[in-house]
Amino acid sequence: MSTRTPLIAGNWKLHNTVAESQALAGGVRKRVRDGLPCQVVVAPVATSLVPVRETLAGSAVGLAAQNVYWEDSGAFTGELSPALLLDVGCTHCIIGHSERRQYFGETDAGVRKKASALLVHKIVPIMCVGESLEQREAGKTLDVVLGQVEAATEGLDAVALAPLVVAYEPIWAIGTGRTAKAEDAQEVHRAIRDHLGALKGESWADTVRILYGGSVKPSNADELLAEPDVDGALVGGASLSADNFIPIIDAGVRRAES
Ligand code: PEP
């Protein structure tokens, strides 16, 4: 169907002690054998990054941070830099999550700086975009989402952006149990790809993985992942239990094999 390798990413948000994170990571790694045609990444809280890296050692599961600051070091109390994330084995980092935009003032300009700094350090940014319910009901979904994508990639060309992953996460679907209809998700994903193609070149845009996020669970993962431009999922709540997360990985494998 697609030459893009599906990616299933678990965002554990502010959940789990070190022991709980390691137990969950241990459950996930059992499913992710070498050669699985679907990539899997987990994003524990910062205090669990090192222990989870140890649990995942030798496995194909990637390690993601949930946030980053764009400077390498300096007087930035409380922040973590791309260099430090690389130092603890992070392969990916979520940026621009709607919770960070809403509660911590993250802006498109900040997302762009974070993406740029991560890319310099060869960490794959998982860049989240998405509209609120109000914006959707006002018919502004594409304006908002494409505007976020454009602002967050401004000044970066396809070569610099090469490994970028975009996550389309309608805010009204995050943690609410409400999921976008598969065809609505596809429409936005296609528009994101077309827009990236117009801005940075179609051949690169065709390689960009665009994940869907927003109440993905075992019962809806196959339907979403059957859409041609839905290349994987960013999963919050359902990633907190291996019993729920593994069937979503299986849906990613089915997409890869279809
Ligand atoms: C998320 O936090 O990125 C997310 C999509 O959460 P949930 O799956 O719980 O809606």
- Looking at the chain, the whole-number percentage of residues with pLDDT higher than 90 is 95
| Cα–Cα distance, 25 to 121 (Å, whole number) | 24
**pLDDT tens sequence across 85-113:** 999 999 999 999 999 999 999 999 999 99
Backbone dihedral region for residue 210 (phi beyond 0: left; psi -120 to 50: alpha; all else: beta): beta
Question: How is residue 236 written in tokens?
Answer: 């919050």
Q: Whose CA is nearest to atom 3 of ligand 1?
A: 236
CATH of span 7-257:
3.20.20.70
Q: What is the pTM of this model?
A: 0.97
Distance 103 CA to ligand 1 centre (A): 15
CB burial class (10 A; 0-12, 13-18, 19+) of residue 196?
A: buried
11 CB within 6 A, ligand 1: yes
Sign of CA dihedral 16, 74, 159, 106: positive
**pLDDT tens sequence across 224-245:** 999 999 999 999 999 999 999 9
Give alpha helix (H) positions in the chain. Answer: 18-31, 49-56, 82-87, 98-104, 108-120, 133-137, 141-153, 158-161, 182-200, 202-205, 218-225, 242-257
The pLDDT score that the predictor gives to residue 1 is 57
The pLDDT score that the predictor gives to residue 177 is 86
Distance 74 CA to ligand 1 centre (A): 32
**pLDDT tens sequence across 129-187:** 999 999 999 999 999 999 999 999 999 999 999 999 999 999 999 989 888 899 999 99
The pLDDT score that the predictor gives to residue 11 is 98
Distance 178 CA to ligand 1 centre (A): 11
**Of ligand 1's atoms, which has the minimum distance to the CA of residue 235?**
8
What is the arithmetic mean of pLDDT over 105-134? 97
174 CB within 6 A, ligand 1: yes
110 CB within 6 A, ligand 1: no
What is the arithmetic mean of pLDDT over 1-24? 95
Other beta carbons within 10 Å of 25: 25
- Domain ranges for the chain, please list them: 7-257
216 CB within 6 A, ligand 1: yes
Active site residues: 97, 169
215 CB within 6 A, ligand 1: yes
| Cα–Cα distance, 101 to 110 (Å, whole number) | 10
